[in-house]
Structure 1
């Protein structure tokens, strides 16, 4: 009887499963096939089985780019949550009108494309119209200076891109948190800061883990921000994939790098969920 009642629930999964199969599994299968294709002298490729593109990845330059990509995305995830978690916690304590206005403002930020964010921050970090010019005007520095291209500019712009996502991911868990736990801790003499670290953070650990994974994957696929605000040594693996596919017309190698990027993100997600999830 239970199986008959649950059958309609399984049927509702069919449309989404078909969509995933069409828009993810089939393109991934084509990319996987292209990654082991045999490249011709004319620059084209024929489907076959050649691991030369993966062997090319196993050089220090591309390995270092992969490690750099993972490291900078992990740093951005940590910084984003460091900003978003206290802000979201305070946001849940506002009245309904204030919460609604803030959420509308955050959702409006999500409408900004990565291209617009990248070039806006490029202006902000420029020598003639950016922060350096303002610092010169108020007398903090003697001469204006450009802050981009640099790794700091890439990190700042990607954190700006990621924080609204982090807030919206954390908001449901923090808004549903049992406030009696906080009241009990305060009654027992725990300070406000102590309550935040001993109660609020541990209770919302799963939300923090899932949000960090989402931000990591989101920023790992960023292309425009590292390319516009960073030097070549600050380019992530996603930028190199675009460079190989569009500018060098080397689709097999770009596909191999894409497979490596997917394995990298999947490995990080699996590791975080295994060792950072609920005990």
Structure 2
């Protein structure tokens, strides 16, 4: 009886340290950021604790509203591309023998070890006019003259998708590995093609994992900072770039804090909706 009653206490005690870390490194900084977002900027200085809503009113203007929508749309498109590419790749990877999976997983981890600066400059070189892929296309006769593919929206989308794809695969890999292989085999036995079996049987069985992966990649892409600057034009810059510009170069910390609050709230809202959707699915299944 004593052992049974001590288990919940030990389980709750194990949550104390993560709770303290969450409070110290997220709740407190986020609270300070919310407070600063209502302060007033001082010309030639930093800011003063005068409560005002001008920072939020400025952010809700048409210009910054379009940037917010662009950032959200770009992040959602990156997450969708990663799922479209990463889900079939992860499924095929999970069906390989263990020895054959190891080199692929090591390659994915190697991509994760690259910094955003290295990825950005690598893609800017590959898409440049002087030493890029266009020279190869000219050599094989597909293009007449070399051309630069960067800066452009396509270059930003390609670079961000490349950076986020390993996260997508590694998040999906445990779910695909635990999937019963007999599901796809049964569908193929009943006459479905491998592609149809994957689309109609495998993917619906992993809807929760796909939704969670979409959220992870979306939040990761939403915080992208260097790639939009290195591969795109100013109209392709995300909200993270403008937050840094306002905080460092414009010395407008209250306005930068207001934009950061919107960015964090958008991420929390998406994660909450995904968790609510998953809870309702579990409840309906039981």
Q: TM-score, normalising length from structure 2?
A: 0.93
Which residue in the other structure is 2:241 paired with?
239
Deviation at 1:276, TM superposition (A): 7.2
Q: Deviations over 1:127-183 (max 9, x none)?
A: 101112222222222211111111000000000001100000000000001122223
Rounded Cα–Cα distance in structure 1 between residues aligned with 2:194 and 2:43: 68
Distance in 1 of aligned mates of 2:143 and 2:246: 41
The Cα RMSD (Å) is 1.5
Cα distance in structure 2, aligned partners of 1:187 and 1:140: 43
Other structure's SS at 2:52 match: coil
Deviates more, 1:208-217 or 1:175-184: 175-184
Match of 1:127 in 2: 129
Instruction: Tell me if the contact between 2:41 and 2:253 (Cα under 8 Å) persists in the aligned partners.
Output: no
In structure 1, distance between residues paired with 2:265 and 2:167: 23
CA displacement, residues 196-255 of structure 1 (integer Å, 9 cap, x when unaligned)? 111100111111000000000000000000011110100111110011111111111100
For each residue in 1:98-145, what CA deviation from the matched residue of structure 2 results, as whole angstroms up to 9, or x when unmatched? 111111111111001111101111111111011122222222222111
Match of 1:186 among 175, 185, 188: 188
Pick which of 35-44 and 113-122 moved more.
35-44
The corresponding residue for 1:67 is: 69
- Structure 2 stretches of 5 or more lacking a match? none
Over residues 9-28 of structure 1, what are the superposed CA-to-partner deviations in whole Å (9 max), with x where a residue is unaligned? 11111111111111111111
SS at match of 1:42: coil
1:3 and 1:213 map into 2 onto residues whose CA distance is: 37
Whole-angstrom CA distance in 2 between matches of 1:5 and 1:263: 36
Matched, 1:155 2:143: no
Deviations 1:30-51 (A, max 9, x none): 1111111122232321123111
Q: Is the 8 A contact 1:154 1:225 kept in 2?
A: yes
Hey, what does 1:261 align to over in structure 2?
Answer: 263
Count of matched residue pairs: 279
Determine the structure 2 residue equivalent to 1:76: 78
Structure 1 residue runs without a partner (length 5+): none
Q: TM-score normalized by structure 1?
A: 0.96
Query: Which residue of structure 1 lines up, in the alignment, with residue 22 of structure 2?
Result: 20
Query: In structure 2, how many angstroms separate the alpha carbons of the residues matched to 1:183 and 1:21?
Result: 48
